Chains A and B, each alone.
Chain A
């Protein structure tokens, strides 16, 4: 477990806008590093950092693994994940998946939410993400996720800046317009 060694550098750099980096009692070692961006209970307040609370454990684990092994890249996450061993990843994934997601306070545009709902039906999002977008196993929960984060991921898939999806999301997003992506992000961010 080397994650604590990074505390000083990473957390100090990115914790500026965060409310709390205190890990709650019972959390596995290393949660405090995650908490700097993702919130102590996995409910991040900065909309560019994803909410981890209630995310599927399998998805969190695979993303950490992908960051460590270079299939997904991010200037903040890649160095953090590089220090994690498999057992650490599994513990962190399990813990965050068991935290409760809180509403983000996102104020949607109703017309865009409706357009996003229709587009989601058309491109069969729910076949993988589930009818209520809570995800399953390796497929992530999207319900109530930050609008900005979702939008960035969809754009990244479309531009193939993010390619750790085994071809599924890059394929689906290839036919989406920028407006479609904005609508979809509004739609899922508005789900609770």
Chain B
């Protein structure tokens, strides 16, 4: 995955370096960025493993960035519902001290909210009044390398500890009561292109963390760290030591021809197979965890370099794939590749979701689903990894898979998707998934480029938007049993941020123009809207305190689609 700023991608190949530069150039603006601190709420008590396990059915708390280990982002409460959502009003607005892209998914424990900002700040606030308990600002190391804005997507909690990945590729454990650092551990070398923006997840005392860096020639991974002291328990490399070449697939998972020159690729591989060390494969979003089978599931992003495939012959496993590994050991279980030998960066980044849907035999079965940048929702059998079905295209697809050229070849979707990192939500009663899509027509341009050492954006070409073609977004509901699109709502700007579904038969989704909207989960009818004054490009969450339901979302704009920046979390409730 690479996030592309509209203003940048219209330019020639020289822009490749710029995407990095402008993003890094963005500075936090807070100076006196802490209000008078209130003593920590006595209601904050340690989060047990049982609470984490049962989060999906607990309407009080939102204690995983995506709601539960299954990551359905489905809130089980229905106090706010399709009948009364029109009356939803702001309860409070919390202003952080950082005016920059917000992708955070706040978590809420017994009325205490923990939220993050760009540049790895964490705030603990009262989830009813917005009063601040504490503020943590990560002391950034001298080297950071990140392609896509100084983002952070949230913290994980276990016991009385919070965990956050940082732009300088560290994992930090904080005392949830005070915000004090308990330990820090270096995940990988930022000088080689590693950085961390995903929210971790914690299970059985293991903190699971993937990595960014697919635009810098990293070797991607998911690592497990001991929650007690941060020591490394296991590493699963998303690029295997041997066998990345796979099966030399001539078609993608949907059966479309990839136009690969397999003979030339095989000859190139025979000459040099050492590139697996720089083959990319970032993991951008939190893994989902199946507590019954002790397996975790995640998707792996693009190979490096993004567009220039000649120097990385093979299927480039496990890039652009869904992967299942053993929670205890990190051992490989299965993979399912969507786009072998990707040269378009139409990779797999949105969070995996565990749910149920009809299998090939028509019987309801355990599945793991993912929304691709291709614009399809993929439904995989959870036990075997076999692709059961893929949805109708959620946005226009044209010229797939035309190869990138020196001059630039037009293909839809553009390289942001489809669905970017934005997590989907699922309504399990309706067997429907809700996906936030982009439509950004682009040309794909290739340029020969050797590995530049790890600290320079390494695209091997350029993505350019086409100024004469309109860009827009689309919120799409997909029936997981059939793959059919049930409804869609077109938005004036591409969608990035993620979706929340609730048992009140609602779907919440934000837009770059500041609108946060609630939709009827069955029909897609807009039932409520509120303008937050800055891009709502983060996923919403819901919780309950003292019998009252709240819906919260960050409106901080977004680096990727260059929407208006803000610094706030908006919290809504019924009057």
Residues of A near any B CB (own CB < 8 A): 58, 62, 65-66, 69, 71, 86, 90, 123-125, 127-128, 136-139, 163-172
Q: Pick from A71, A137, A172: contact of B12, CB below 8 A.
A: A172
Known contacts: A124-B11, A124-B12, A137-B24. The answer to whether A165 contacts B18 by CB under 8 A is no
Tell me if B461 is interfacial: C-beta within 8 Å of chain A: yes
**Residues of B contacting A69 in the complex (Cβ-Cβ under 8 angstroms):** 453
Q: How far is the CB of B18 from chain A (nearest CB, A)?
A: 5
Complex Cα distance A124/B455, Å? 23
Query: What are 10 A-B contacts with C-beta separation under 8 Å?
Result: A71-B453, A124-B15, A127-B8, A127-B11, A137-B25, A138-B456, A166-B16, A166-B452, A167-B450, A168-B15
Q: Pick from B447, B448, B455: contact of A62, CB below 8 A.
A: B455
**Residues of B contacting A127 in the complex (Cβ-Cβ under 8 angstroms):** 8, 11-12, 14-15, 18
Complex Cα distance A130/B289, Å? 46
Chain B positions 1-55 with a Cβ under 8 Å from a chain A Cβ: 8, 11-18, 20-22, 24-25
Residues 450-478 of chain B: 1 if any A CB is under 8 Å from the residue's CB, otherwise 0?
10110111111100000000000000000
**Residues of A contacting B12 in the complex (Cβ-Cβ under 8 angstroms):** 123-124, 127, 171-172
Q: How far is the CB of B559 from chain A (nearest CB, A)?
A: 15
Known contacts: A128-B21, A137-B24. The answer to whether A123 contacts B14 by CB under 8 A is yes
Q: A137 touching B21 by the CB < 8 A rule?
A: yes
**Residues of B contacting A136 in the complex (Cβ-Cβ under 8 angstroms):** 21-22, 24-25
**Residues of B contacting A66 in the complex (Cβ-Cβ under 8 angstroms):** 453
Q: B142 touching A166 by the CB < 8 A rule?
A: no
Q: B453 touching A138 by the CB < 8 A rule?
A: no
| A125 and chain B: residue at smallest CB distance | B14
Q: Pick from B22, B24, B191, B448: contact of A167, CB below 8 A.
A: B448
Tell me if B449 is interfacial: C-beta within 8 Å of chain A: yes
Complex Cα distance A168/B448, Å? 10
Q: How far is the CB of A79 from chain B (nearest CB, A)?
A: 19
| B145 and chain A: residue at smallest CB distance | A138
Known contacts: A136-B25, A139-B21. The answer to whether A171 contacts B14 by CB under 8 A is yes
Q: How far is the CB of A176 from chain B (nearest CB, A)?
A: 12
Complex Cα distance A134/B559, Å? 23
* From A128, A167, A168, residue with most partner B Cβ within 10 Å: A167
**Residues of B contacting A65 in the complex (Cβ-Cβ under 8 angstroms):** 191, 453, 455
Q: B21 touching A138 by the CB < 8 A rule?
A: yes
Complex Cα distance A172/B16, Å? 11
**Residues of B contacting A172 in the complex (Cβ-Cβ under 8 angstroms):** 12-14
Q: Tell me the interface secondary structure of chain A in the complex.
A: helix
Besides the known contacts A71-B453, A166-B458, 14 further A-B residue pairs in the complex with CB atoms under 8 A apart: A62-B455, A124-B11, A127-B14, A127-B18, A128-B14, A128-B17, A137-B21, A137-B24, A166-B17, A167-B448, A167-B461, A168-B15, A170-B447, A171-B13
* From B8, B16, B453, residue with most partner A Cβ within 10 Å: B453
Q: How far is the CB of A56 from chain B (nearest CB, A)?
A: 9
Q: B20 touching A138 by the CB < 8 A rule?
A: yes
**Residues of B contacting A123 in the complex (Cβ-Cβ under 8 angstroms):** 12, 14
Complex Cα distance A126/B257, Å? 39
| B450 and chain A: residue at smallest CB distance | A163
* From B21, B305, B308, B448, residue with most partner A Cβ within 10 Å: B21
Q: How far is the CB of A102 from chain B (nearest CB, A)?
A: 25
Complex Cα distance A113/B458, Å? 32
Q: How far is the CB of A15 from chain B (nearest CB, A)?
A: 29
**Residues of B contacting A62 in the complex (Cβ-Cβ under 8 angstroms):** 453, 455-456
Q: B21 touching A168 by the CB < 8 A rule?
A: no
Q: B14 touching A168 by the CB < 8 A rule?
A: yes
Question: Nearest 3 pairs between A and B by C-beta?
Answer: A167-B449, A166-B452, A171-B13
Known contacts: A123-B12, A124-B11, A138-B21. The answer to whether A171 contacts B455 by CB under 8 A is no
Complex Cα distance A62/B193, Å? 12
Complex Cα distance A163/B143, Å? 23
**Residues of A contacting B457 in the complex (Cβ-Cβ under 8 angstroms):** 166
Q: B455 touching A138 by the CB < 8 A rule?
A: yes
Q: How far is the CB of B9 from chain A (nearest CB, A)?
A: 11
Q: B453 touching A168 by the CB < 8 A rule?
A: no
Q: B20 touching A137 by the CB < 8 A rule?
A: yes
Complex Cα distance A128/B17, Å? 7
Q: B14 touching A169 by the CB < 8 A rule?
A: yes
**Residues of A contacting B143 in the complex (Cβ-Cβ under 8 angstroms):** 90
Complex Cα distance A168/B14, Å? 5
**Residues of B contacting A169 in the complex (Cβ-Cβ under 8 angstroms):** 14
Q: How far is the CB of A129 from chain B (nearest CB, A)?
A: 9
Residues 494-527 of chain B: 1 if any A CB is under 8 Å from the residue's CB, otherwise 0?
0000000000000000000000000000000000
Q: B456 touching A166 by the CB < 8 A rule?
A: yes
| B449 and chain A: residue at smallest CB distance | A167
Q: How far is the CB of A160 from chain B (nearest CB, A)?
A: 9
Complex Cα distance A62/B458, Å? 14
Complex Cα distance A125/B11, Å? 10
**Residues of B contacting A139 in the complex (Cβ-Cβ under 8 angstroms):** 17-18, 21
Q: How far is the CB of B42 from chain A (nearest CB, A)?
A: 45
Known contacts: A124-B11, A137-B20. The answer to whether A167 contacts B447 by CB under 8 A is yes
Complex Cα distance A127/B20, Å? 12
Complex Cα distance A149/B287, Å? 50
Complex Cα distance A69/B454, Å? 11
Complex Cα distance A111/B450, Å? 37
**Residues of B contacting A138 in the complex (Cβ-Cβ under 8 angstroms):** 17, 20-21, 455-456
| A122 and chain B: residue at smallest CB distance | B12
**Residues of B contacting A167 in the complex (Cβ-Cβ under 8 angstroms):** 13, 16, 305, 308, 447-450, 452, 458-461
**Residues of B contacting A137 in the complex (Cβ-Cβ under 8 angstroms):** 20-21, 24-25
**Residues of A contacting B456 in the complex (Cβ-Cβ under 8 angstroms):** 62, 138, 165-166
Q: B20 touching A124 by the CB < 8 A rule?
A: no
* From B24, B450, B458, residue with most partner A Cβ within 10 Å: B450
**Residues of B contacting A171 in the complex (Cβ-Cβ under 8 angstroms):** 12-14, 447
| B453 and chain A: residue at smallest CB distance | A71
Q: How far is the CB of A67 from chain B (nearest CB, A)?
A: 11
**Residues of B contacting A128 in the complex (Cβ-Cβ under 8 angstroms):** 14-15, 17-18, 21
Complex Cα distance A176/B142, Å? 36
**Residues of B contacting A164 in the complex (Cβ-Cβ under 8 angstroms):** 452-453
Known contacts: A137-B25, A166-B458. The answer to whether A90 contacts B142 by CB under 8 A is yes
Q: How far is the CB of B163 from chain A (nearest CB, A)?
A: 27
Q: How far is the CB of A150 from chain B (nearest CB, A)?
A: 15
Q: Pick from B22, B452, B461: contact of A165, CB below 8 A.
A: B452
Q: B16 touching A168 by the CB < 8 A rule?
A: yes
| B15 and chain A: residue at smallest CB distance | A127
Q: B20 touching A168 by the CB < 8 A rule?
A: no
Q: How far is the CB of B446 from chain A (nearest CB, A)?
A: 10
Complex Cα distance A90/B141, Å? 12
* From A66, A138, A165, A168, residue with most partner B Cβ within 10 Å: A168
